[in-house]
Each structure stands twice: as structure tokens, then as C-alpha cells.
Amino acid sequence: MLPPALPQRPPLLPQIDAEPDAELAAESVTDPAGLPLWDLVVAGGGPAGFMAAITAAEAGLRRVLLLESTPTPLGKVLISGGGRCNVTHACWDPRSLVGHYPRGGKALLGPFSRFAPGDTVSWFAERGLSLVEEDDGRLFPTSNRASSVAASLRTAAQAAGVTLRTAVALQAAEPIQGGGFRLALRGPGGAQERLQARQLVLATGSHPSGRRLAADLGHGLVPPVPSLFTLALAGAGMGELAGLVMDPVELSLELAEGRFRQSGPVLFTHRGLSGPAVLRLTAFAARSLKAVSYRCELGVDWSGGRSQADLEALFASLRRDQARKQLGGWRPWPELARRLWSVLLEQQGVDPLQRWADLSRLQQQRLIQALRASRYPVSGRGPFGEEFVTAGGVTLTEMNLATMASRKQAGLYLVGELLDVDGVTGGFNFQHCWTSGWLAGRAIAASAAEESFSS
């Protein structure tokens, strides 16, 4: 389904007057102290950083430097979606879109009203990359390769005149009286370098260095915790089900902060459960789960939402119509995985060779209870590093979310996962990166244009 007709996009900002030696390399421009001077430095070569740099440069900013601390920029883009890159989600209404963000959702209504998934689709299409929608609403490049998304961003950055430097990290940022920042960089082999920037964007994702830089520049931080992770189950005896997918499954957690519920596909792993429903559940319950050290009880409804009365009627018909069939060979309904049904029979002490006609009333109630309301002890989350995003970061009340500008430090902008915003799986975290980067880039170029005009 294609996005609805989008509102007319705002025109590009007027080009900033070029200097007589504009054709010289940007590094040749220096401040009075002899340091290289850039109109904008973006720290972080991920999706939000690239979007901010490209948008500012396309809107007229001349000297834009993009720093990536690793040798390969856009690393998360390249590995996301199993190497396919779930660019965004076909959720066109900003009011519906914000419901997919466990933290920061309501605050994002304004930003998403200016740049939403439909704008993302158009933005990439204008730069030669088309997206295709899957049945569940996720949008991927038509090539089905994340490298196409990364190539599109790198090509756009180069065409806009952005200078990209890899394996270079921002170490410190010192505000300069009168405006701008003096920056300390660390390059390959620990080489030290200093330069000056009129404006600065921190797009460092969940890396601790970005949080440290933001705190040094006056920002408060919400302590980070993992989000979007799998659950390890203790003593559930379901390791033999690894690789099996059940859909739909209803999940619930009852914790001190409230009850959390999600429904959808669930994937069995060797240690417990994963899949979209589990990832959404852990996203919304991220802080509550952290508070109990990931030790709690998970409620699971394997029945697809069938009521007690529905299952009692179904079992009665099975005892009558399939009387001679063995329980292990005839599942209550075809969509119930054979392997799962066998495990549930074993857990309830019911012989799979027993005939449906011989199923006792007590055995029936135990099986219905297992199908509708199994309880499993959670022993922890998935392996370290398996989590997809981090909940926490720079406090949103310290930000002007219309521009992504800091309310604590003039000339500073913060975008992407560095903020206390996180979405569920399905392209929503990338969408926040595109939106926040675009807003910051526009605002930075507008600010530079105003300064150029006033001078």
C-alpha cells in the first residue's frame, strides 16, 4: 500500500553566499587561531548523523564534516533486518505512529507531523532508492539489501558536499565564548587533532561516549537500559522447540509498575522466547524488567485468544468426533504446532498415546489451562549484545524537539538514539533517526543562513 498524498515539501533554504575561495577544500578554512573551521561537525556516522549532515548540506551549508569512530559508517543500517534494512514502517498517520514508541512517543507527535514515514519514502525515492511494503507494514529497499540503503546515503552525502571521515572519534567539545565549539578528535593509532565548529550535532547512538559528551555540555541523562530483547526461561523444558514459530500468541507480564501485554508471532530459541511479540513486550516493559533484574513470570496464551468456553466446546467435539484418535497424533486445531502440543501434553503428564475418548475431565482442564494461561519463570534476558536498542539518553525536556536543538547549549543539536526515545521493532527506531536528523539539518542550515544574512 503506497503512502497517501503527502503535503507539499518545504522549499530548500536559500544558499548561503559562497566565499571567493569556495572551491578550495573545506579543511583549508581556519579560525584566527589556525584551527580548521567547519560550519557543522556531526559526530556519528549512523542513520541520524547522515540524515542531519545531508539535509544541512543540501539546504546550503557549505562546510559539513561527518565523523564516524569506526572504519565503516552506517554499521547498524548494514546489519539491520538480517542484512535487508527495515527502513521505516507504513504507518502514515503521526497520531498512530507515536503509539509504537514506549518512551518519547507523545513528544514525537510534533516532529512526526513534519517528517513521517511517507516523507522518508519520498526522500529515498528522490535519491534513487525505492522501498517496498511487506504484509506486516515493514518497508525494505526493493533490492532487499541493506547495502543499497547505505550506498544511497553515502552517495547523497557526497553529492551534497559532505566530508566523511572514518575511524575518527570526537573526544571532547568545549563551547567558545561568542558561539561555536573547539573540538578534540582521536584518529587512527590514537592521533590527536583539534578543530573548530560553528555548530555541532551529536548523533552517537547508544555509545557511552555520546552520553558523556552530552553530559559535559550540560545535559541530564535518563540512565540507559536494554530494550527490545529476548527472554530466557528457566526450567521450561522447551529447548527442543528451538526454531519453531507460533502466531498469534498472547504474552503478559505482571510487574510492580503495571501489567504489560502484547500479541503476535513468537519464536522459540534454545534459551527461551524471541520474535516480534516478545521484542515489543520487552520494549514497553524495559525499565520494569530491569527493576526486577529480569526475574519474573511470563504468562502465555498459546490458544490464539480462544475463551475457556470455546476450548471446552472444542475438546467435547474432539472426544466425540475423534474418539479413537491418539492425543499426540491429533491436535486440537491445525495451527497448533505438533511439537508444542507434544510438549504441553508432557508437561501436564498426559500420555500422547491416550485416545481422545479416554481424556478425563481433570486432564482436559489441565490442558485447557496450559493452552490459555501457561506460566513460565523468566530467568533473564537474551545474551549481552543481543538487544536491539537502548532505552534512555538525553532528557527530552531539555530539547527543542521542533529543531532538535539543545536548550542547554547554543549551537548544539542531538539526534537519534542518543535521546530518551526508543521504538518497537519494525522500522520505528530508524524512522526516529530520519526525522530527528532531518529536523536538525534544516534548523542548522536555517540558523547559518540567518547569521549570514545579518552579517
Residues 156, 127: contact at Cβ < 8 Å?
yes
User: Whole-angstrom Cα distance, residue 432 to residue 435?
Assistant: 5
Residues 295, 380: contact at Cβ < 8 Å?
yes
User: Whole-angstrom Cα distance, residue 100 to residue 428?
Assistant: 7
Residue-wise pLDDT tens digits, 139-174: 999 999 999 999 999 999 999 999 999 999 999 999
Residues 380, 297: contact at Cβ < 8 Å?
no
Of the chain, the percentage scoring pLDDT greater than 90 comes to 85
Q: Which three cell numbers stand for residue 229?
A: 530483547
Residue 76: strand, helix, or coil:
helix
Residue 141: strand, helix, or coil:
strand
pLDDT at 15: 36
Confidence of residue 23 (pLDDT cuts 50, 70, 90): very low
pLDDT at 10: 41
Confidence of residue 257 (pLDDT cuts 50, 70, 90): confident
User: Whole-angstrom Cα distance, residue 46 to residue 203?
Assistant: 7
* 337 Cβ contact list (under 8 Å, min separation 6): 241, 244, 246
Residue 389: strand, helix, or coil:
strand
Q: Is residue 14 over pLDDT 60?
A: no
Of residues 227 and 19, the one with the higher pLDDT is 227
Q: What is the mean pLDDT of residues 269-295?
A: 95
pLDDT at 30: 72
Q: What is the mean pLDDT of residues 255-280?
A: 94
pTM to 2 decimals? 0.86
Q: Is residue 357 over pLDDT 80?
A: yes
Quote the distance between the C-alpha of residue 82 and its chain's center: 14
| CATH number attached to the domain at 26-225+389-454 | 3.50.50.60
Confidence of residue 235 (pLDDT cuts 50, 70, 90): confident
Q: CATH 3.50.50.60: which residues of the chain?
A: 26-225+389-454
Residue-wise pLDDT tens digits, 54-102: 999 999 999 999 999 999 999 999 999 889 999 999 999 999 999 999 9
User: Whole-angstrom Cα distance, residue 356 to residue 127?
Assistant: 62
Lowest mean pLDDT among 19-33, 314-328, 357-371, 375-389: 19-33
Confidence of residue 122 (pLDDT cuts 50, 70, 90): very high
* Range 6-26 burial, b when 16+ CB lie within 10 A, else e: eeeeeeebeebeeeeeeeeeb
Question: How many residues can be counted in the chain?
Answer: 455
Lowest mean pLDDT among 6-15, 175-184, 446-455: 6-15
* 211 Cβ contact list (under 8 Å, min separation 6): 204, 221, 224, 393, 394, 418
Task: Look at residues 219, 172, 201, 216 and name the one whose alpha carbon lies nearest to residue 411.
Answer: 201
Per the prediction, the chain carries an average pLDDT of: 91
Axis-axis angle for helices 146-160, 47-58 (nearest 10): 30
Q: Which three cell numbers stand for residue 387?
A: 538487544
* 353 Cβ contact list (under 8 Å, min separation 6): 326, 327, 328
Residue-wise pLDDT tens digits, 390-404: 899 999 999 999 999
pLDDT at 387: 55
pLDDT at 29: 74
pLDDT at 67: 98
Q: Is residue 303 over pLDDT 60?
A: yes
